[in-house]
């Protein structure tokens, strides 16, 4: 007989941190440093998410070279943001990045400085560039460090379901523990979301499978606000010979072009030789696609052809000179491909396509990393408003460190200032049902469902997820238009009409079935929010490209906030703050 999986086991802590990538780990250890009783919940395991993506050779982070470099660094960040970034948070980042990088020593993560100057993606000036690698060794070291930190409890295999609230503030969070096959309610005085981006929304992504936008979804359901959702990074990734390998843009200095199966140079068909040379030169300076320079034809052609040949991508060819490239980050990449993945850029057939890589927007945060849900803070990739239409290379990992530390300090101060909010199990269950129902439950009504969970319903949830991922990659990736976005919105609306997660959860499904239900619900909640932002911004700016509006419009020099009430999305424009919000 199956147990009632909707009963709740209860736990408590001072500061609850959701997400065990670089931002969550940084926040967890800093919170412990500050004397908090800390719980770190990982959806899968420690050292997860984009920070520790296994098919990436290294992770980079920019720092300042000397005090006067702060102003230059800030100028680069502002230029890349195209008016969509929070200048105060950028200033805070630049002032604190070197100290935050030094915190890696406290985490016992070895890091190194690149020996030669390198322009990071979208930067106009070289800055100090640090990097770290060897994810398995880092994970092993952090497991040991966690065991030596009594104030920090690690809980793996826990997926965030929703945020519980009382009297206008967060009281805790409900998780599904897939290993124990049970739901757990964690009461907390302060909550830090570090759940990463939302790569699982897209069929092709360069994220680990746990990155699905759980934090964004929970904030939307709690009445909070998201921002800059239309600005997302898409970079080329390998389709073959090894799927989902991160593509290094520096290799494009030796690129011959993109080729069809018939051997046609697709770029040469679109561009003059001079234009093609300029396109590849500028494209080699940054990994993500952008509309902001003359490199955009590379990604547009790549996406158009990939849509025609999505199963095996587009052939890219290199000149022999790539093997003699003297730059260490190119040499190390070629060596890593050869030794770790047995890939030869010259001998093997390399096929690539545009992959979702990272979110520039996310949960709207203020200047102490506070979200618009009282008692909830956010850091890392899930925090929005810090970055703009484009983001400097290395600033994603740097933000995990800088704002992981700041979020910990803010959550600790919040926890000390107030008492934890107490909720009964029945109150939590009532909020659970409301969060996963299309209609609010009627007072006094039974929360269970008198039916059984069928195999067809489980498969339908998985089918919904695959449909959403395909729709988003094909229509809400690099190429966007009013007609395509509206068509996707209509199809998602139909999926939402057919999908009823609460009755499914209440019918006591198995562990794998619960995961399928929660994944489909997360994507069905978050994908429409992205579509609304993409539809509303009728221009092209940075990483957001509209085929029907291929130009930047000054009237859209403002940011877009998205929230949800009674299941309906609401979009509000706001000017990018210069200093204080």
Q: Which domain CATH number covers 408?
A: 3.50.50.60
Considering the chain, what is the average pLDDT of its residues? 92
Tell which wins on pLDDT, 578 or 143.
Answer: 143
* Residues 391 and 399: beta-carbon distance below 8 Å: no
Kindly tell me the burial class for residue 116, based on how many C-beta atoms sit within 10 Å of its own C-beta (0-12, 13-18, 19 or more).
Answer: exposed
* CA-atom Rg of the chain in angstroms: 23
Mean pLDDT of 354-375: 97
The model's confidence at residue 174, banded by pLDDT at 50, 70 and 90, is very high
Residue 53 has pLDDT above 50, yes or no: yes
Note the pLDDT of residue 444: 44
Same domain, 193 and 120: yes
Mean pLDDT of 432-452: 58
Note the pLDDT of residue 5: 52
Sign of torsion over alpha carbons 34, 37, 41, 45: positive
Listed residues 302, 333, 354: the one ending a domain:
354
Same domain, 209 and 282: no
Residue 509 lies in a domain: no
Domain hosting 371: range is 8-231+360-417
Same domain, 384 and 281: no
Listed residues 354, 384, 400: the one ending a domain:
354
pLDDT digits (tens, 9 = 90+) for 203-260: 999 998 899 999 999 999 999 999 999 999 999 999 999 999 989 899 999 999 999 9
Q: What are phi and psi of 569, to 5 degrees?
A: -85, 145
Listed residues 317, 333, 354: the one ending a domain:
354
The model's confidence at residue 440, banded by pLDDT at 50, 70 and 90, is very low
Tell which wins on pLDDT, 455 or 465.
Answer: 465
Give CA–CA dist 25/400, Å, rounded.
9
Antiparallel, parallel or unpaired: β 128-132 and 112-113: antiparallel
Same domain, 221 and 240: no
* Residues 167 and 351: beta-carbon distance below 8 Å: no
Number of domains in the chain: 2
Same domain, 302 and 395: no
Residue 453 has pLDDT above 50, yes or no: no
Alpha carbon of residue 257 to chain centroid: 30
pTM value? 0.94
Residue 163 lies in a domain: yes
Give CA–CA dist 568/547, Å, rounded.
27
**Complete DSSP assignment for 204-238:** SBSS-TT-S-HHHHHHHHTT-EEE-TT-EEEEEEE
Residue 467 lies in a domain: no
Same domain, 148 and 284: no
Note the pLDDT of residue 455: 54
Residue 301 has pLDDT above 50, yes or no: yes
**Complete DSSP assignment for 425-451:** HHHHHHHHHHHT-SSPPPTT---S-SS
Residue 509 has pLDDT above 90, yes or no: no
Note the pLDDT of residue 446: 38
Note the pLDDT of residue 329: 80
Same domain, 308 and 372: no
Residue 480 lies in a domain: no
pLDDT digits (tens, 9 = 90+) for 368-415: 999 999 999 999 999 999 999 999 999 999 999 999 999 999 999 999
Same domain, 52 and 90: yes
Same domain, 16 and 145: yes
CATH code of the domain in which 277 resides: 3.90.700
Note the pLDDT of residue 580: 46
Same domain, 224 and 316: no
Note the pLDDT of residue 579: 52
Residue 61 lies in a domain: yes
Same domain, 111 and 259: no
Mean pLDDT of 490-497: 94
Angle at 130 between CA 129 and CA 131, to 5 degrees: 125
Residue 31 lies in a domain: yes
Same domain, 30 and 91: yes
Please choose, from the candidates 438, 531, 462, 518, the residue with its C-alpha nearest in 3D space to the C-alpha of residue 492: 531
Note the pLDDT of residue 328: 83
Give CA–CA dist 388/556, Å, rounded.
13
């Amino acid at each position: 007989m199956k147990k009632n999986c909707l009963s709740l086991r209860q736990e408590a802590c001072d500061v609850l941190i959701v997400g065990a990538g670089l931002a969550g780990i940084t926040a967890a250890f800093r919170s412990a440093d500050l004397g908090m009783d800390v719980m770190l919940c990982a959806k899968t395991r420690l050292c997860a998410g984009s920070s520790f993506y296994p098919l990436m050779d290294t992770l980079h982070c920019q720092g300042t070279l000397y005090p006067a470099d702060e102003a230059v660094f800030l100028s680069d960040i502002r230029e890349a943001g195209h008016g969509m970034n929070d200048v105060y948070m950028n200033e805070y980042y630049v002032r604190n990045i070197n100290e935050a990088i030094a915190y890696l020593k406290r985490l016992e993560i070895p890091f190194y400085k690149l020996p030669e100057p390198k322009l990071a993606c979208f930067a106009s000036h070289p800055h100090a560039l640090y990097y770290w690698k060897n994810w398995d060794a880092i994970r092993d070291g952090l497991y040991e460090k966690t065991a030596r930190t009594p104030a920090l409890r690690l809980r793996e295999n826990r997926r965030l379901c929703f945020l519980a609230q009382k009297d206008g503030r967060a009281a805790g969070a409900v998780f599904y523990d897939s290993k124990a096959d049970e739901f757990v309610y964690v009461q907390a005085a302060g909550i830090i979301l570090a759940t990463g981006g939302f790569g699982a929304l897209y069929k092709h992504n360069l994220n680990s499978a746990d990155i699905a936008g759980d934090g964004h979804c929970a904030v939307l359901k709690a009445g909070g606000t998201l921002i800059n959702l239309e600005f997302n990074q898409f970079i080329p990734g390998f389709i073959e010979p090894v799927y989902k390998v991160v593509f290094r843009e520096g290799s494009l200095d030796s690129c011959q072009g993109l080729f069809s199966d018939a051997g046609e140079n697709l770029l040469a068909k679109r561009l003059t030789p001079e234009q093609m040379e300029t396109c590849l030169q500028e494209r080699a300076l940054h990994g993500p696609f952008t509309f902001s320079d003359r490199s955009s034809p590379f990604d547009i052609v790549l996406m158009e052809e990939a849509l025609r040949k999505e199963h095996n991508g587009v052939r890219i060819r290199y000149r022999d000179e790539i093997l003699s490239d003297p730059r260490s980050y190119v040499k190390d990449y070629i060596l890593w491909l050869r030794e770790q993945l047995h890939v030869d850029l010259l001998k093997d057939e390399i096929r690539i396509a545009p992959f979702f890589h990272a979110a520039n927007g996310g949960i709207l945060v203020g200047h102490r990393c506070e979200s618009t849900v009282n008692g909830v803070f956010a850091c890392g990739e899930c925090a929005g408003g810090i970055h703009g239409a484009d983001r400097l290379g290395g600033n994603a990992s740097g933000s995990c460190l800088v704002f992981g530390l700041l979020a910990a300090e803010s959550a600790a101060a919040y926890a000390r200032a107030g008492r934890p909010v107490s909720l009964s199990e029945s109150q939590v269950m009532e909020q659970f049902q409301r969060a996963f129902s299309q209609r609010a439950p009627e007072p006094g009504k039974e929360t269970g469902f008198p039916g059984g969970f069928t195999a067809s319903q489980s498969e339908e949830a998985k089918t919904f997820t695959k449909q959403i991922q395909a729709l988003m990659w094909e229509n809400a990736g690099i190429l966007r238009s009013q007609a395509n976005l509206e068509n996707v919105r209509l199809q998602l609306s139909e999926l939402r009409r057919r999908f009823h997660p609460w009755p499914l959860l209440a019918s006591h499904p198995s562990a794998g079935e619960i995961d399928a239900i929660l994944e489909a619900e997360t994507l069905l909640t978050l994908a429409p929010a992205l579509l609304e932002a993409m539809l509303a911004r009728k221009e092209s700016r940075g990483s957001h490209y509209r085929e029907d509006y291929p130009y930047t419009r000054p009237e859209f020099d403002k940011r877009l906030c998205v929230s949800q009430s009674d299941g309906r999305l609401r979009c509000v424009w706001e000017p990018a703050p210069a200093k204080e919000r």
